[in-house]
Amino acid sequence: MVSESRSPLDRFVTLPDGRSLAYREHGDPHGVPVFVFHGIPGSRIQRHPDDEIARSLGARVITVDRPGCGLSDPMPGRRIADWPADVAFLADAIGAARFRVIGWSGGGPYVAAVAHALPERVERAMLVSSLAPIDAPGATEGMIRLFRLGFALAYAAPWVLDASLPLWMRRLERDPERIVRHIVARATPEDRALLADPALRTLFGQTLLDGGRQGRRGPSYELRLVARPWGVPLEEIRVPTIVWHGALDRTAPIGMGRWLAGTIPGATGRWFPRDSHFLAFTRWREVLGAVLE
């Protein structure tokens, strides 16, 4: 398992404030634009490895590094609510007047921000295995204890995460397979079965390495953002929104999905009794098909 660095797939735009934003495109270059927002830690590498699925459905999939993640420049003091401006600029740069958005796990809050801020451009929004605000009723019920601790530290003592992340990244760089094994061993049986696929397992390791390459400016800061108030009025979203969630998810428990579906006006929820956190990968064709309807 080897980390990807710069690749011929990597593309960049320079934002109005001078920051560089990194992204990749997959699938049908003439298809319907679909922005896919990565989890935490994550980067533009995070996608289903079978690009033929997107091509066959007529989807132009755009994966983007958020500031401080992967190859995108950091944005000091950024908020979740700042993300729509970056997405709008990138969409203009690639000629996507209107588009769809999908967010998996920690990418869900950013889908909500874009749907709220850009209703005239977003045709459909989809949150898959998405995090919800940590203070939502019952949000952490059923969550793995390690993740509950991580969010508690991100809220109350983020400097602890900042200090521990470099050590974790050094271990990951030295022996990525060992770290992946450690994470997989603590996953649900459903996610362990998925990550037995060599292509997905390699992709997962590459995403962890690439997403954390900028240290505390990346995943540590991202955890801090989602652990605190998002600054996005979910009850004001007017874009057609889909929420899909697995009942066996212990990273973002299904209560989070139910709360999001009940809070975003008109949102439709679909619950999968035998799926876990990696629902977006086990059902990628269905996910893309739903957002393209």
What was the pLDDT predicted at 25?
97
- Alpha-carbon distance of 195 to 176, in angstroms, equals 14
What are the phi and psi torsion angles at 183 (to 5°)?
-70, -45
> pLDDT by residue (tens digit) across 243-277?
999 999 999 999 999 999 999 999 999 999 999 99
What are the phi and psi torsion angles at 270 (to 5°)?
-135, 130
More confident residue, 223 or 118: 118
Q: Are 61 and 29 in contact (CB under 8 A)?
A: no
**Across residues 15-26, what is the average pLDDT?**
97
Q: Are 96 and 33 in contact (CB under 8 A)?
A: yes
Which residue's entry shows tokens 């920051």?
19
Joined tokens for residue 263: 């809070």
**Ordered DSSP codes for 276-288:** -TTHHHHTHHHHH
Strand partners, 271: 245
Distances (CA, A) of 206 to 41, 49, 212: 11, 12, 10
DSSP state of 169: H
What was the pLDDT predicted at 143?
92
> Given pLDDT bands bounded at 50, 70 and 90, which one contains residue 4?
very low
> pLDDT by residue (tens digit) across 51-90?
999 999 999 999 999 999 999 999 999 999 999 999 999 9
Q: Residue 48's closest CA among 243, 252, 289, 271?
A: 289
- Alpha-carbon distance of 63 to 109, in angstroms, equals 16
Domains of the chain with CATH codes: 11-292 (3.40.50.1820)
**Pairing of the two strands 122-128 and 241-246:** parallel
More confident residue, 170 or 92: 92
What was the pLDDT predicted at 5?
55
pTM of the model: 0.92
More confident residue, 118 or 181: 118
- In this prediction, what percent of the chain has a pLDDT beyond 70? 96
What was the pLDDT predicted at 211?
83
> pLDDT by residue (tens digit) across 119-146?
999 999 999 999 999 989 888 899 988 8
Residue 3 above 50 pLDDT?
A: no
Joined tokens for residue 34: 């679909």
> Given pLDDT bands bounded at 50, 70 and 90, which one contains residue 287?
very high
Residue 174 above 80 pLDDT?
A: no
What was the pLDDT predicted at 187?
74
